[in-house]
Amino acid sequence: MKNRIMMVLGLLVTVSMALAACGPAPTAPPAEQVVVTQEVIVTQEVEVEVEREAFTTPHPILSDLRVRQAIAHCTNKPDLIKSVYPLLDEEEQASLVMHTFIPRAHWAYAGDENITIYDFDPAKGAALLDEAGWTLAEGATFRTNANGDELSLKFTTTSAAFRQTWAAIFEQQMAACGIRIVRLHAPASWWFGDTTGLARRDFELGAFAWVGQADPGGQTLWACDQIPTPANGWEGQNYMGWCNEEASRNIKIANNTLVQDERIAAYRVVQQEYTKDVPAIPLFNRTETFAAAADITGFQPVPGQEYYNYNVQEWEKAGSNTIVLGFTQEPASLFTLVEDAFVANIAYQIIRPAQEWHLNYEFTNSPVTKELPTLENGGTTNNDVEVKEGDKVVDANGDVVDLAPGVSVINAAGETVEFSGGTVTMKQLVSRFELADGLTWEDGTPVSSADLELGHRISCDPESGATTFITCDKTANVEFLTDAVGYIQTWLPGVQDPLYFVPVWPIYPAHQLGDLPAAQWATDPRVAEQPLAYGPYKLVQWEKGQFMRFEANEHWLGEPPKTPNFVIQFVTAESAESLLLSGEVDILASETLAGLSQALADAEAAGTIKTFVEAGATWEHIDFSLFIR
């Protein structure tokens, strides 16, 4: 970017002056030469190159709201659903349509009357494109602008069969409105990699799913300060670059109050702004479809549980010592702090189970933790504390600030007040988290509080590659226990996170990795490829592109796994169902199956397999890249 600036040039001008002495010329001494330096100011206008900060240039097409609205009107969501769930009836298909980032049956949904809904209306979409200067010449297939540029957009998503199916229909829908879609079906390892794809905002239209949770959350997705850029070390998951101050303020409020009515009101505002600005198109809730060999027992996917292998140690196949799970996508890494792909988390939780479960949308502790610390059971207290100027607090907008006059905070009585000096009483959550007794690493080393301390340190170190530091920033203090394996988490005054009782820090083996610099974690094989297990299985072999093989962990604190060997087999989307039906693969899950196919339905009727179809909270969407590099 060129800036014209005025440059001031200081020129040194040398002037020689002869100073004559008094007296007659013949007898006068020679003249003395004196040098005088004078500064002359000259102004000159020049052009210099000033580098524009990355991702501050509006996308030449997608930064126009009319284009985004047009794409929304040209998208026939029921047809996309029908393409992947053909065996559902029309009413069931229609029930999956989403208008915002919250499912319509959820308690936090704003209600149809409070948001902007973009019904399928190609004529309205065409009119908006015309208005935006993208017109369709007579006989042309795709629209162009006044410069003759074609309305063409790159559409990036994974190579999963599910997305290939509905993306092909989406491409046809856009073509009908005069928009050329260039599809790129990339490996999940690139699309969800920590230094590629989404993490580096390398897309124009990007399609993927956010895994549904028992709580809407959303702060890392929609807040202005969660837009990843090179300048902030790529922190955050707001890959679109969407910054709406009203939405940003309310998403923080929604995640920083224990009062559900306040959360509902805040989420309503975010959804109103979201549907007005159209930074993305929410498409549909996914049904979670699973298929397993008929003789598999213990496999029980349930609604609301993010990862269906929560009870993998209970899976059993009659007469076999090995269960094979088919994956069409291979994890890039098992360092899930930075590699957040669903398949990576599934593989990771075989060896390191989550510290909490979300069974049927209810939170409970997993086998590796003791009772979750709630206000009701006394594990958490919500104390009144006096804060003064200069103290770090969370203000009424949910932002971490240094308390100063003029800052609005929520006091202990729940009132929004402006700080004017002295002290103010605020609420402060303090929770005691403990791991279960007997938790042990696969090498026989007991899990200790030092392992949680390492988890805290790496999660909060920007060099580790972590994508968000909201939890770290809102933490006042962590005291790691010596009388038990655990910690006491003290939040900043003003933090009223409704999920305060959910375990905060991951567990990493301090005896193995305690001296490893954070910047090396993502590439160290002990982190990314062969992490130590404390779960029911340990990873013993990973043949890239072929399989991951797990064996029972003899140091697991619970009953030994009912099946001693477990394999994740990497298969193609085209072969997955046939491998299940032939018995070479025992289980296919929701990350692989596009839905209940006729072949699977027929096989279930014949008694060779069993299927599970759950209404999931996971949702498909298309993000718009609002800025370019």
Quick one: DSSP state of residue 111?
-
Q: Does 36 or 310 have the greater pLDDT score?
A: 310
Token output for 532: 């130590």
Q: Are residues 421 and 489 in the same domain?
A: yes
Q: Are residues 246 and 395 in the same domain?
A: no
Q: What is the pLDDT of residues 523-566, one digit of tens each?
A: 999 999 999 999 999 999 999 999 999 999 999 999 999 999 99
Coil/strand/helix, residue 6: strand
The answer to whether residue 465 is domain-embedded is yes
Q: Are residues 259 and 148 in the same domain?
A: yes
Q: Are residues 39 and 134 in the same domain?
A: no
Residue 30 has pLDDT above 50, yes or no: no
The answer to whether residue 119 is domain-embedded is yes
Q: Are residues 89 and 216 in the same domain?
A: yes
**Length of the chain measured in residues:** 629
The answer to whether residue 9 is domain-embedded is yes
Opening angle at CA 61, ends 60 and 62, nearest 5: 110
Q: Are residues 278 and 377 in the same domain?
A: no
Q: What is the 3-state secondary structure (H, E, C) of 300-317?
A: CCCCCCCCCCCCHHHCEE
The answer to whether residue 301 is domain-embedded is no
Residue 27 has pLDDT above 50, yes or no: no
Query: So what's the pLDDT on residue 507?
Result: 98
Q: Are residues 241 and 99 in the same domain?
A: yes
The answer to whether residue 565 is domain-embedded is no
Q: Are residues 383 and 275 in the same domain?
A: no
Q: Which of 546, 583, 575 is nearest to 319 (CA)?
A: 583
Q: Are residues 265 and 181 in the same domain?
A: yes
Q: Which of 188, 155, 189 is nearest to 172 (CA)?
A: 155
Q: Which of 61, 53, 46, 51 is nearest to 9 (CA)?
A: 46
Q: How far apart are CA 161 and CA 380, in angstroms?
A: 45
Range of the structural domain that residue 498 is part of: 369-515
Give the phi and the psi of residue 446 in degrees, each rounded to 5: -65, 140
Q: Are residues 93 and 233 in the same domain?
A: yes
Q: What is the pLDDT of residues 351-381, one digit of tens each?
A: 999 999 987 667 899 999 999 999 999 999 9
Burial class (CB in 10 A: 0-12, 13-18, 19+), 22: exposed
Q: Once rounded to an integer, what is the mean pLDDT over residues 588-613?
A: 91
Q: How far apart are CA 337 and CA 466, in angstroms?
A: 6
Q: Are residues 21 and 170 in the same domain?
A: no
CATH of the domain at 396: 3.90.76.10
How many domains does the chain contain in total?
3
Q: Once rounded to an integer, what is the mean pLDDT over residues 565-583?
A: 96
Q: What is the pLDDT of residues 238-272, one digit of tens each?
A: 999 999 999 999 999 998 888 889 999 999 999 99
Query: So what's the pLDDT on residue 18?
Result: 31
CATH of the domain at 90: 3.10.105.10
Which amino acid would we find at residue 127?
Answer: A
Q: What is the pLDDT of residues 96-134, one digit of tens each?
A: 999 999 988 888 999 999 999 999 999 999 999 999 999
Q: Which residues contact 620 (CB under 8 A, 6 or more apart)?
A: 163, 166, 207, 208, 209, 283, 284, 286
Query: So what's the pLDDT on residue 361?
Result: 67
Instruction: Indicate the residue among 12, 33, 49 that finishes a domain.
Output: 49
The answer to whether residue 300 is domain-embedded is no
CB half-sphere exposure, 353, CA atoms < 13 A: 28
Q: Are residues 88 and 9 in the same domain?
A: no
CB half-sphere exposure, 24, CA atoms < 13 A: 2
Q: What is the DSSP string of 57-84?
A: EEPTTTTSHHHHHHHHHH--HHHHHHHH
Instruction: Indicate the residue among 494, 515, 536 that finishes a domain.
Output: 515
